[in-house]
């Protein structure tokens, strides 16, 4: 967990007002090996609430196409393909759901979400890398996509 912006979700306090405490964010990743079973998404959201995770990056969701939707108090942005294979997603709690200022679904292996936070915007990239048994060409393709995404947001990402 890290610190990212004031407790009001990343909004800077008005000049002259009392400075608010920094908000601590819970950020995690999880290879879920499919979210197609009934009730699995609801269990995941309960686990996020219980463990105080605000942003959850997911791999291998195995959902079709790409979508941005609300599910209860959570915003789910995912990138899938034409088949129920691979797929990545980012789930945001209701407060951070309002802070999304940009998103890009590159492929069923990679996506990016940019959040409006202070003092700088936060960029989250979720990547599902091929396993060690994959062909070299497939691995290289994912690395090339990642480099393109990073280059596109160069100067906007704080390392």
Domain that holds residue 18: 2-152
Within a domain: 158: no
Within a domain: 80: yes
Rounded CA separation 15/98 (Å): 23
Measured in degrees and rounded to the nearest 5, phi and psi for residue 94 equal -60, -30
Within a domain: 142: yes
| CATH code for position 65 | 3.60.10.10
pLDDT on residue 72: 96
User: If 0-12 CB within 10 Å is exposed, 13-18 middle and 19+ buried, where does residue 46 land?
Assistant: exposed
Within a domain: 119: yes
Q: How many domains does the chain have?
A: 1
Cis before 69 (ω within 30): no
- Report pLDDT digits (tens) over 35-92: 999 999 999 999 999 999 999 999 999 999 999 999 999 999 999 988 888 999 999 9
Within a domain: 72: yes
- Report pLDDT digits (tens) over 98-150: 999 999 998 999 999 999 988 888 889 999 999 889 999 999 999 999 999 98
Give, in degrees to the nearest 5, the angle at Cα 121 between 117 and 123. 115
pTM of the complete model: 0.81
């Amino acid at each position: 967990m890290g610190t990212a912006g004031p407790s009001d979700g990343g909004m800077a306090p008005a000049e002259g007002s009392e400075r608010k405490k920094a908000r601590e964010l819970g950020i995690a990743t999880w290879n879920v090996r499919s979210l197609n079973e009934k009730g699995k998404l609801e269990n995941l959201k309960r686990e996020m609430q219980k463990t105080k995770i605000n942003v959850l990056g997911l791999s291998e969701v195995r959902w079709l196409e790409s979508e941005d939707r609300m599910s209860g108090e959570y915003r789910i942005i995912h990138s899938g393909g034409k088949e129920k294979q691979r797929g990545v997603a980012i789930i945001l709690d209701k407060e951070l759901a309002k802070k999304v200022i940009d998103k890009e679904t590159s492929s069923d292996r990679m996506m990016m979400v940019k959040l409006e936070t202070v003092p700088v915007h936060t960029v989250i990239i979720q990547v599902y890398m091929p396993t060690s048994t994959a062909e070299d060409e497939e691995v290289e393709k994912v690395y090339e996509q990642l480099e393109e995404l990073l280059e596109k947001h160069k100067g906007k990402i704080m390392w």
